[in-house]
Amino acid sequence: MVATQFEPRLKVIAIDGPSASGKGTVAAQVAAILARDYLDSGALYRLTALYACQQNIGWKNEHEIAALAYRLPVVFRANSILLNNVDVTTAIRTENIGMGASAIAALPAVRAALLQRQRDFLTSRGLVADGRDMASVVFPQAELKVFLTASAQIRAQRRALQLGMAPDGSDYQKILADIEKRDQADRSRTVAPLKPANDAKILDTSSLSIQESVEKVLDWYRKI
């Protein structure tokens, strides 16, 4: 869905992209610079996947997971995320939970359960939201839509470094395989597949630093 000239634009910068493309870091910094709220939509799917694990519910059990998503007991703090009053900031960033997030994101009832929760993050302050369908589904009337991407190899190196691992060797190879598998799952799902919105600006971050990527997004924002 693309907003037409007759639809009011929302005070939202929507940043989509595959895993480890840098969208979360870029979005958070852009939000801080513009004094806007920030939504990490992927965290909601990761939290739901983790919560399902804790409740011994399989990731293919659509309706039970959707019920969990509706009542997800999550609290976002400045530097941490609490699930049932337990800090899960690190726990939701594992590759296994990432795969779980992709699995449940393919379930229509789960996406419907989380859709309004994501939209409720928008206030008068404005919002910078990152995810996989922020521009195409959640905020199709966003004032700026950006799709960040990078090669799978670069993204695997970034994730390895983020996890304190060497950007080569067996750990890197496993991360690369997981990223490629997740890319395939995200792009091939029938519900909200990973792809740029028709009017999104494409930014390949393979050879860019975080600061360069942030500056590019801000430059696009200043020109709208």
Longest dimension (CA), the chain: 53
> Is 22 among the annotated ligand-binding positions?
yes
> Is 17 among the annotated ligand-binding positions?
yes
> Is 19 among the annotated ligand-binding positions?
yes
Instruction: Say if residues 110 and 58 touch (Cβ distance below 8 Å).
Output: no
Q: Among candidates 61, 150, 137, 135, which has minimal Cα distance to 100?
A: 61
> Is 109 among the annotated ligand-binding positions?
no
User: Rounded to the nearest 5 degrees, what angle is found at the Cα of 71, between the Cα atoms of 44 and 51?
Assistant: 55
> Is 23 among the annotated ligand-binding positions?
yes
> Is 60 among the annotated ligand-binding positions?
no
Strand order in the sheet with 74-76: 74-76, 81-83, 86-87
178 HSE (CA, 13 A, CB side):
23
> Is 170 among the annotated ligand-binding positions?
no
> Is 216 among the annotated ligand-binding positions?
no
Binding site as annotated, residues for ATP: 17-25
Query: Which segments are annotated as binding site?
Result: 17-25
